[in-house]
Amino acid sequence: MSNNTLAGEAGFGSFFRYHGWLSPGVRLFRRLNFPAKAAWIAVMFLIPLTIMLGYLWKASNDQVDFARSELLGVAYVQPLHDLIHVAQGRRLAAMEGAADLSTWKIKVTDAFSKVAAQEKTLGQTLQTGEAYAAVEKTHQELLNAPADSNPMATFDAHSNFIEQLLQLGVVVSDTSQLALDPELDTYHLMSYAVLYGPRQTENVSKLTAMGKLVLKAGNKTAAQNDALAQFAGLLAFIDEIVENDYLKAVAVEGLKNPDAKYGMDQNDTLYDAFGKALKTMVLGDKVEGDPTQLEQMGTASAGAEYALNTKLMERLKFRLDERIGQLQAQFVQQLVIAVVFVALAFYMLLAFYKVMMGGLREVTGHLEQISKGNLITAPTPWGKDEAAHLMITLRDMEASLRVIVRNTLDGAGNVNTASEEIASASQDLSRRTEASAAALEQTAATMTQISETVQRTSETVSGAADIVRANARSAKRGGEVIAQVQSTMQGINTSSNKISDIISVIDGIAFQTNILALNAAVEAARAGEQGRGFAVVASEVRSLAGRSAEAAKEIKGLINASIEQVERGTQVVGEAGTAIADIVGNAARIDNLMTEIANATKEQSLGVSQVGAAVHDLDQNTQQNAALVEETAAAATALSEQAERLAQEVSFFKLK
């Protein structure tokens, strides 16, 4: 199996995956609006209803056409039966050669012309052309035939003509669908009046003609006897049929005495009298009796039978007309009922459409108002149907949405206020942090200068210490070489002057160090907790600077004294040893002091380096804090703007 086949089966299966056999209708209705859906449903109901009404109309029309076709048969058979009746009279007159034969011929001709007129009108419809042609041919032959002296030949010729007329009636009953009549009473009316009643009359007429012929001859031949027995047997057989047809045909009328209405009592009386006379006069072993009496009795019985057939034929015609009226009325009734219920269905469908469209329009209107931000109105349901439930659900949704919008507005306001406060505080903190960073940068620069100055002071003190040590050694040699005091004093004088200059420099350095330490203490005080350690170091530096200044003053004083002593050296030689001893002692103290100054200066340089590193780290941290504060301020500002935008978006909805 190819991939395309699998894909096709998967696609076809997915089409019915969710709704099964309802998928085509579901997919169709998803593409249609409600009026189109209602129209589709109405059309789907109207199509079978229209088809059923068409079938109903066709069935009713077929039944009406069926009954009308039977009426055409009745219209054709009525003159045909009249022709049969007069043809029977003509046959009896022709057998006797009666004087009124010409009169009977005229009657037959007139009756045949009426049948011919019906044939011209209905022959093609009833398809009687072939049977009528045979009748017409025989009719013409009888009209043109000369008088025959043989009564039996005349009997047979005329009986053949009447038989053809009877067969023409059978054809008409078949082609006009009289023989297929669907109702009980009209079928038996048709059976009596169209088929067996005329046959019964013909048998009575045959027995009358044959009996009269036999009575006149005084005997009967074997052929005549057989014919009479056949006619009598057939008469008895048909009599049972017509009796049954009559009872079933008139039973539906519910009359107390329908025989009186149609003359059945008289017909039975005449028929029974004729039967008895026939048995007595003709059918027995002896042929005896009055031919005229038999003729009268047979003619009376045949006439009564003919009259009964005529009445039943009229009754059949009436019942067929009544059936057509009933069928038409029934169809009209059914059509009215169908139209009424269709109208009622359309009314209910229209009401359903109005209800659904009204509910949908109401819901749509409220949804449009919600989309425009209007939460003030609420849908009011009109009933308890699905549209009302939908409006109730929409009303609950609007209530929940109002609560959400109100809470969102309150929350957005609170967030906006808090964001503005955070942004303001962050901006203040940012400004203060930037100021602290600038101060720390300045402090770092000052500490760098202090570090450089201390480094130079350390180097100067180291040089001074070396000079002091050399002075001490010179003082010791001066004690040994007193003789060289003058020259040495000169050198001391020169050295003392240099030392004085150096001491002045040290004094200046100490003063500057004191000033820098004071500045560092002030900056440390400004830094607060972070500058506490730096303040301690600055205090120690200031203390060392003070001591350095005092030592410088002392050295300066000593140098001045040494100069004065050198100047008085010549005068006070005696005191040289003591002075040199003092000088040696002072030199030792100076050496100690210079050593202390050098050590202090080194510690001062180390402390200043540490303070510089701490200030540098504090500067970096402060700059980082400033950057974080700026980011916090920017984030707070952005949050405030977002909260304001959220409040503006939510304020789109109207709550009051």
Query: Tell me, what's the pLDDT at 86?
Result: 95
Instruction: Tell me the C-alpha distance between 465 and 463, whole Å.
Output: 5
Q: Which tokens hold the place of 427?
A: 């901006």
Query: Tell me, what's the pLDDT at 554?
Result: 78
Q: Which phi and psi (to 5°) does residue 374 adopt? A: -90, 110
Instruction: Tell me the C-alpha distance between 557 and 569, whole Å.
Output: 17
Instruction: Tell me the C-alpha distance between 210 and 221, whole Å.
Output: 11
Query: Tell me, what's the pLDDT at 615?
Result: 66
Q: Which tokens hold the place of 270?
A: 């005449």
Best CA proximity match to 531, nearest among 617, 449, 430 = 617
Mean pLDDT for back-to-back runs of 10 residues, the chain (656 residues): 48 68 78 79 84 83 88 94 94 87 93 95 92 94 81 91 95 92 89 92 92 88 88 88 86 66 82 90 87 92 92 91 90 88 85 77 77 73 74 78 77 75 74 73 74 72 71 70 63 71 75 77 73 71 76 75 70 64 71 73 72 72 72 74 71 62
- In single-letter form, the type of residue at position 555 comes to I
Domains of the chain by start residue, with CATH: 1-31 (no CATH), 50-341 (no CATH), 436-650 (1.10.287)
3-state helix, strand, coil split of the chain in percent (to 5) is: 90, 0, 10
Q: What is the DSSP string of 486-542?
A: HHHHHHHHHHHHHHHHHHHHHHHHHHHHHHHHHHHHHHHHHHGGGGHHHHHHHHHHH
pTM of the predicted protein model: 0.56
Q: Provide the 3-class DSSP secondary structure of residue 374.
A: strand
For the chain, report the end-to-end CA distance as a whole number of angstroms: 67
Query: Tell me, what's the pLDDT at 655?
Result: 60
Query: Tell me, what's the pLDDT at 396?
Result: 81
Query: Tell me, what's the pLDDT at 8?
Result: 46
